[in-house]
């Protein structure tokens, strides 16, 4: 019996790795072509290759759930096409045992995904985005398409590039009064965080009054802000690529500033429930092989898997923005598709038993 378990596990795992390699290879090729359209200043082909290399962990993390789903579908489908599943069940092996054996590679994927998402992807994405921003140029106010916006009170901020350990490039600060009139605009070539305070360097500051505009140039000045390098490190990385703890901390920071944190809360719940979503999608794949896709060709099985995977992704992508528009809790945007897939998988497996 253990030999059969190992055989099912190895077959599903091999299919999982094959799917991941194929999908990841295609993604890397298209990503490199896309980066070639953004070459400018010091950001050239070698820098684009470096950027692609630094984003590789994030791409692996993004495709692990798809690989687990399609790998289970293809691996078990191959066993079904060779009538090996029929022989196993005729030999007295229960459907539950086969399902558990096929789920084990998915559990490995869940563990790898959690490790990548929490400890690797946030760091590599921060390095990738910072290096790209620096290479594309940071010397002018609001010049970089790779920059980051932030708001603190009545001050809107833009940073062309954010380096680790508290170094900012191309800092633009726009201060508004209670009537939403721009009263002061400040641009600094660089900002450095030292001993709990920010120091702006090479500063140009303009005060805008109703009857006149005054400008002054300063070599340096102090900047009082509650921003810290840890918070700015969150801005560099997209919400879906942040660790769970970082998402929670930054959501609390935004709520304390009376700002909308739904994007980060939605990403938080999506990451928390990602292992459950992966396991449920694998369950659906297994139920398809034992149920409606038991005797179809491999090509049709792959096509059906792609359709189901896209439907699941689009359901989450549509419900996510809907939670922002209609104001319901972002957790439901992630949880509803998972529950629907779980019910479908259980019903199909019970019919096949």
In which order are the strands placed within the sheet that holds 148-152?
Answer: 148-152, 155-163, 167-176, 182-194, 197-208, 213-223
**Structural contact between residues 105 and 72, judged by C-beta atoms closer than 8 angstroms:** yes
Phi, psi values for residue 179, rounded to 5°:
-95, 10
Pick 253 or 146 by higher pLDDT: 253
pLDDT score for 173: 94
Q: Model confidence over 180-225: pLDDT tens digits?
A: 889 999 999 999 998 888 999 999 999 988 778 899 999 999 998 8
- Going by pLDDT thresholds of 50, 70 and 90, the confidence category of residue 53 is very high
- Rounded-to-integer distance, Cα 333 and Cα 127, Å: 30
Helix orientation angle between 121-136 and 56-81, rounded to the nearest 10 degrees: 130
Q: Model confidence over 334-347: pLDDT tens digits?
A: 888 889 888 888 88
DSSP string across 139-178: -STT--TT-EEEEETTEEEEEEEEETTTEEEEEEEEEE-T
Domain ranges for the chain: 2-135+262-352, 148-236
H helix intervals, the chain: 2-36, 45-54, 56-81, 84-90, 95-115, 121-136, 229-236, 244-256, 262-272, 274-290, 298-326, 330-352
pLDDT score for 352: 65
Q: Model confidence over 84-129: pLDDT tens digits?
A: 887 887 778 887 888 888 889 988 988 999 899 989 998 898 888 8
Residues in the chain: 353
Rounded average pLDDT over 39-64: 91
Q: How much is the pTM?
A: 0.79
């Amino acid at each position: 019996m253990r030999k059969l378990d190992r055989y099912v596990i190895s077959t599903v795992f091999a299919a999982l790795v094959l799917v991941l390699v194929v999908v990841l290879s295609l993604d890397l090729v298209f990503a490199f072509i896309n980066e070639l359209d953004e070459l400018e200043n010091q950001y050239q082909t070698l820098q684009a290759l470096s950027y692609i290399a630094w984003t590789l962990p994030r791409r692996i993390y993004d495709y692990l759930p798809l690989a687990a789903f399609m790998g289970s579908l293809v691996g078990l489908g191959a066993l079904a096409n060779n009538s090996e599943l029929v022989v196993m069940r005729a030999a007295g092996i229960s459907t539950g045992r086969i399902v558990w054996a096929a789920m084990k590679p998915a559990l490995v994927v869940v563990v790898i995904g959690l490790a990548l998402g929490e400890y690797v992807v946030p760091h590599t994405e921060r390095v990738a985005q910072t290096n790209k921003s620096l290479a594309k140029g940071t010397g002018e106010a609001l010049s970089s398409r790779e920059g980051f916006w932030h708001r603190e009170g009545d001050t809107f901020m833009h940073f062309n590039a954010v380096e680790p350990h508290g170094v900012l490039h191309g800092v633009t600060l726009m201060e508004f009064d209670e009537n939403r009139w721009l009263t002061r605009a400040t641009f600094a070539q660089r900002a450095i965080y030292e001993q709990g305070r920010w120091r702006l360097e090479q500063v140009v500051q303009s005060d805008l009054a109703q009857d006149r505009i005054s400008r002054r140039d300063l070599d340096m000045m102090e900047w009082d802000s509650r921003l810290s390098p840890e918070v700015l490190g969150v801005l560099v990385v997209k919400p879906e690529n942040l660790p769970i703890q970082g998402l929670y901390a930054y959501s609390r920071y935004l709520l304390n500033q009376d700002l909308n944190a739904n994007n980060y809360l939605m990403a938080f719940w999506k990451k928390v429930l990602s292992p459950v979503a992966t396991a449920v999608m694998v369950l659906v794949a297994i139920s398809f092989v034992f149920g409606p896709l038991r005797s179809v060709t491999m090509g049709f099985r792959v096509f059906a898997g792609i359709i189901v995977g896209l439907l699941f992704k689009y359901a989450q992508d549509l419900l996510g923005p809907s939670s922002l528009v209609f104001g319901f809790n972002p957790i439901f945007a992630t949880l509803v598709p998972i529950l629907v897939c779980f019910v479908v998988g259980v019903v199909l497996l019970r019919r096949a038993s």
